Amino acid sequence: MIYDVVIKNTEILDKNDGETYQIGIRNGRIAYIGKDPVIGKETIDGSHHLAVSGFVNAHTHVAMTLFRSYADDMALMDWLQNRIWPMEDNLTNDAVYWGSLLGIAEMIRTGTTCFADMYFFMDATARAAAESGIRAVLSRGITGPSLEEGRSRIAENTELFRNWNGHEEGRITVMYGPHAPYTCSPELLKAIAEEAGREGAEIHMHLSETAGEVKNCQNQFGKTPIALACDTGLMERGLLAAHCVYVNEEDLALMAKNHVRVAHNPQSNLKLASGVAPVSSMLEKGLVVGLGTDGASSNNNLDMLEEIRLAAMLAKVKTGNPKTVPAKEAVAMGTIQGAQALGLPRMGAIREGWKADLALYDMQEPHWFPRNDRYSLLAYAADSHDVDTVLVDGRILFRNREFTTLDIEKVCFEASRCAEKLKNH
């Protein structure tokens, strides 16, 4: 058999044995893993490299790369209300397109092959994802203090779903994106749940990010944001809940019962002083926990390897137990659990029949020696700039540290132009 792509003589993280293997890719899937030599239409030399399933960024606002370094060192609501939301009022399709491409380039460069996004002008982000070759799960951020004010935004999300869900040979998926309980009325949340049910779509939403959010929700509605999401029918559609920093035992039980998946955003939560999510408790309850970067305006990068490392270390500090979230589990949160959080099957591990979304790490730098355990090396020692090759659906998007689908100089120039225009609006 002749494969579309063959990666030869590479180590594989999933095996963690120091042996080298041949990986044969056909029709976007991993079709062969073994020792025997195989032939490909295109061959990648994986010598001295570690093949890792591409990272899954389970929560971001990718076009917010435009606001990187614009507003820092602020509390969440002050940051949103006084700096970010006024800038977002001036966003255009053109700005979101170039901001999305900039973020996508950053993610590809650092080994991320799939991202979940919630923002505005999402047709522009879909076009950027389609052109770049990355995998994307998109939703239109919906806000509205009343149902009437949110109807047009629901309609935009429905249009996005009908135009893009399942397109690009399945690389693009669409969810509905109610922003948060503090920006959506309960009536609007119920309407979103009903519309998502009619379309057969799932939900991506911020929940319980700050103590103030939880307190205000309890004061206004007599229940936590988690309980409100349940009561409005959102959990019945399949819910990806971003943050979940402040959740109590009743919340966790409700989340487990309704199979809520969590996108944990450790770096953004720390920078905004939101807190540290109880990840260990979530995992003990059997919840799927993926990792997200949040937007580059509150992180300030889209480097998933940093999230993996921080997730492992914060969990240890939170519990006072160094055994909490060991390296292998932290990597799983950034790969296979991230894929599960987004509802994407047969993805997030290097296995025959699974999607060929891969990154190759050059292990020739000093921090890769000695090689006692590859999971430990990746989680605690590696640098994301060790990535030199990235594939999505078996298509090479980044090779020998060069982009194959993006003109990176043009992307950086145009994104900077758009950011300057927004700042001076």
13 confidence band (pLDDT: 50, 70, 90): very high
Nearest to 7 by CA among 71, 50, 57: 50
Residue with more model confidence, 77 or 68 = 68
Name the β-bridge partners of 358.
53, 391
What does pLDDT average to over the chain?
A: 97
Q: Residue 174 has what pLDDT?
A: 98
207 confidence band (pLDDT: 50, 70, 90): very high
Number of H helices, E strands in the chain: 16, 18
Using CB atoms within 10 Å of the CB of residue 221, give its burial: 0 to 12 exposed, 13 to 18 middle, 19+ buried: middle
What mean pLDDT comes out for the span 277-285? 98
pLDDT above 90 for 83: no
pLDDT above 80 for 425: no
Q: Residue 324 has what pLDDT?
A: 98
Pairing between β-strand 135-142 and β-strand 177-178 as defined by DSSP bridges: parallel
235 confidence band (pLDDT: 50, 70, 90): very high
75 confidence band (pLDDT: 50, 70, 90): confident
Q: Residue 234 has what pLDDT?
A: 98
Q: Residue 352 has what pLDDT?
A: 98
Q: Residue 112 has what pLDDT?
A: 98
Question: What torsion, rounded to 10 degrees, do the Cα atoms 234, 206, 423, 72 define?
Answer: 180
User: pTM of the prediction?
Assistant: 0.97
φ/ψ (deg, to 5) at 73: 60, 50
Architecture in CATH for domain 2-53+354-403:
Roll (2.30)
pLDDT above 80 for 294: yes
Q: Residue 76 has what pLDDT?
A: 79
87 confidence band (pLDDT: 50, 70, 90): confident
Indicate the domain borders of the chain: 2-53+354-403, 55-341
Residue with more model confidence, 278 or 298 = 278
Q: Residue 309 has what pLDDT?
A: 98
Report how far apart, in Å, the C-alpha atoms of 233 and of each of 202, 258, 285, 371 are: 11, 11, 22, 49
Architecture in CATH for domain 55-341:
Alpha-Beta Barrel (3.20)
